[in-house]
Chains A and B, each alone.
Chain A
Amino acid sequence: MEKEPGITKKVDEFLEIFRKGEEFTKEILRENEKLRFRIAQLEGAVQKPAEEESVRMYEDRIRKLEEEINAVMERYHKVEEENKDFASKYVEVEEINNALANLYVASYQLHSTLDFDEVLRIIIEIVINLIGAEVFAILLIDEKTNDIVPVSAEGIPLEMVPKARFGEGIIGSVAKEGESYFAADISSGGDVAKGEPIVCIPLKIKEHVIGAIAIFSLLTQKEGFTNVDYELFNLLAGHAATAIFSARLYTQSERKLTTIQSFLELLKEKPKR
């Protein structure tokens, strides 16, 4: 059976149209695929700057926090230093406080009596307990002979301490000049027999020297002098001298009063006979 040429032509045309439609559809699908890919690309491109922005933001925050930490650490170290400074100042204040307490007790005790022997005993206690001297003597100037005579001693018998001449030797020079003497080496001790102390303090009322304290050796545990020791030496130089002078005057006036009273009693009794 022979096909009609018109139908064949129409079939061919239809097939042609169909193929074209197929190609067109395929083309559309390809385009669609390309567009999807492009959309995905664009979407990615849009997200990336947002992520970078947040990373930058976090980096900024980290940097700021690091700066804050550094500032805090710096402040902490500063406070720590201040704390150390305060601690050392506290220790210093404590030491001053202790020194003042010692000086207060020493001066209080020195002026607590007008008894000459007791004043000497208090000076001895201060020199032993506060300064830490082992062998020492208190010497007073005899204004008649100008000799510097030992009146009390600790660690050695009083008779063993020699008199000193005013202006001669260490003790005599201290009495004359009114300036304290400190040996360069205090560890070896002084020489009692030669009248060579390691420390000699003048006993002064203003500029008038009335005697001296001569230290010949220190207690074994006392290795050297501290600031408070020098303060005590100064205190002793002034206050001990005043205390000795007052006690002497008081004893003399007491003696005179007793003599006068006895004399008056005698005068009262005379008319009765």
Chain B
Amino acid sequence: METALQWARGPIFWTAFAFMILGLLRLVVITVLDIRHIMRDAGDKSLPVGQLIRTTLSWLFPVRRFTHRITYSLTTIIFHVSIIIVPIFLGSHVMLWERSIGLSWPTLSTTVADVLTILAVVTALAIVVQRTIFADARRLSRFQDYAIPLLIAVPFASGFVAMHPTMNPFPYEATMLVHVMSANILFILIPFSKISHCLLLPFTQFVSEAAWRFPSDCGTQVAVALGKEKQPV
């Protein structure tokens, strides 16, 4: 068990983390190439920079969506905030970074970390539940939309019980192995699943913005191409 744990937090972690970094970089490069492609084909070559920034920010801080679907909006915001903040600013994690690469940064107090961790697990489950019970959401959902929030909950739950040994029914090493390995799997999945939106969000906004801008008279041109001039649409 201890050897497996060493292996999981050593070489496997390195590999998974490298997979995430390189995979995300690769996605960015491919997306930029794609965007170049789209821009070349686009009829309207003006860049909607202002609108782009507005939409990106509005999705980063979806305050406007509070008018309807308030529960879901709140759930996802809390979910996102906790799963971003806790892994980066947890004291134990910062200590690991400091030991391996010598960099450290401010940490969360354990109480805040505990609260956010519980919130992350609860909201992850809530997201899945809401996706299941609302018919509209269910229709839009793919397998990974259910699987990924549940998978994200695993390292948070296992990390929480590892930090509170007295309420942990499992051996410490086994708990840590689950914690580290589930996180490793997530790292590898990040570039290959919807989680890649963590880096690609502005690019996807750009793509949908740029790709759907048609030249002013394109409707007529389509009609000409289809041979349906002067016919009602």
A binds B: no
Residues of chain B having any CB pair with chain A under 8 Å? none
A interface residues (Cβ-Cβ under 8 A, vs B) = none
